[in-house]
A = this chain, B = another copy of it.
Amino acid sequence: MLKKNIETFLGCDREYDEAKIVLFGAPFDSTTSYRPGTRFASRTMRAESYGLETFSPYLDLDLEDAYVFDGGDLELPFGSVENALKDIEDFTRQIVNDGKIPLMIGGEHLVTLGSVRAVAEKYDDLHVIHFDAHADLRDDYLGAKLSHATVLHRVWDIVGDNKIYQFGIRSGERAEFAWGKEHVQTRRFDFVGLEDVVEKLKGKSVYFTVDLDVLDAAVFPGTGTPEAGGVSFDELRRAMNLVANKCNVVGCDMVELSPPYDQSGISTATALKLLREYLLALDYNINNK
């Protein structure tokens, strides 16, 4: 008798019970103000993942040995921001309550808020490491409090002063940078200082959010607001590896891939390779600490 068609990210085919890391997609981009399309990221990544190898020549590790479960994509209501965040929060809560690490694939950056709400509920004194081209620190955007452009401000509402560490930031309005100086630590353009931060956060619970537009526009054209002057694939790969190896990551996400603007497919392929490398490092770190 034939079985139903199961689709997972390449090599992420563990059962939920045995998994340490739980991947899922949050296909939502209702507040995207410029070029929409991140809603298609998780399913495109899943479909394209079969063009990737499970083995990493960087780490000499293989996804076939890792403990990752793919929970598929949430079905989120467009045009109903608070409900969508609620669904993400509930799904994330189940994962963290089962003692697993959620790894959410966006969607626009606002989805991070749903996940952080659930993670912060479980883990006290939560710190946040944030890679992005954009500060995302506005208090409101055209009157809306919930927006991809305000998401780190909303996260700050939860975690408070001096808990958020931003890297790679190269875009924002004057007021954001001014506000940021008082409340978060922002490193512009690159990852200088990350080693110190990682050292400093030893023992703390860390939420790690990666907005892929931190990459240079040439490396990652497939995003809503591509920004020139960004980091290279190898810089991001190493920085993510550092966080996975040295921090106590209790929740994480990777957001802002927008397949409609990735005609050649290199952005999806790059996101997938970063995901593989990060999953392998995180899984290795969990099993060997």
Q: Is the beta-carbon distance between B16 and A169 smaller than 8 angstroms? A: no
Using CB atoms, name the residue of chain B closest to A77: B142
Q: Is the beta-carbon distance between B70 and A4 smaller than 8 angstroms? A: yes
Q: Is the beta-carbon distance between B51 and A34 smaller than 8 angstroms? A: yes
Q: Is the beta-carbon distance between A51 and B30 smaller than 8 angstroms? A: no
Q: Is the beta-carbon distance between B8 and A57 smaller than 8 angstroms? A: no
A288 at the B interface (CB under 8 A) = no
Q: Is the beta-carbon distance between B177 and A55 smaller than 8 angstroms? A: yes
Min Cβ gap A51→B in Å is 5
| Chain B residues, Cβ within 8 Å of A5 | 6-8, 46, 70-73
A226 at the B interface (CB under 8 A) = yes
Indicate which residue in B69, B142, B221, B234 contacts A266 across the interface (CB closer than 8 Å).
Answer: B221
Using CB atoms, name the residue of chain B closest to A43: B47
| Chain B residues, Cβ within 8 Å of A94 | 2
Using CB atoms, name the residue of chain B closest to A91: B2
Q: Is the interface of A mostly helix, strand, loop or mixed?
A: loop
Q: Is the beta-carbon distance between B143 and A80 smaller than 8 angstroms? A: yes
Q: CA–CA, A110 to B144, complex, Å? A: 19
| Chain B residues, Cβ within 8 Å of A13 | 4
Q: Is the beta-carbon distance between A265 and B226 smaller than 8 angstroms? A: yes
Using CB atoms, name the residue of chain B closest to A233: B228
Question: Which of under 10, 10 to 19, 20 to 34, or 35 or more describes the interface residues of A?
Answer: 35 or more
| Chain B residues, Cβ within 8 Å of A33 | 78
Q: Is the beta-carbon distance between A269 and B217 smaller than 8 angstroms? A: yes
Q: Is the beta-carbon distance between A2 and B16 smaller than 8 angstroms? A: yes
Q: Is the beta-carbon distance between A174 and B261 smaller than 8 angstroms? A: no
A83 at the B interface (CB under 8 A) = yes
Q: Is the beta-carbon distance between A17 and B1 smaller than 8 angstroms? A: yes
Q: Is the beta-carbon distance between A57 and B273 smaller than 8 angstroms? A: no
A39 at the B interface (CB under 8 A) = yes
| Chain B residues, Cβ within 8 Å of A4 | 6, 8, 13, 15, 69-70, 72
Using CB atoms, name the residue of chain B closest to A31: B79
Q: CA–CA, A30 to B35, complex, Å? A: 12
| Chain B residues, Cβ within 8 Å of A205 | none
Give 26 CB contacts A-B under 8 Å.
Answer: A2-B94, A3-B16, A4-B6, A4-B13, A4-B15, A5-B7, A5-B71, A5-B72, A33-B78, A36-B36, A37-B260, A53-B171, A55-B177, A57-B170, A57-B172, A58-B170, A76-B142, A79-B110, A216-B219, A217-B270, A218-B219, A225-B269, A227-B273, A229-B237, A229-B273, A263-B264
Known pairs A5-B73, A77-B143 / 6 extra A-B pairs, C-beta < 8 Å: A2-B71, A53-B171, A57-B177, A79-B147, A219-B228, A229-B233
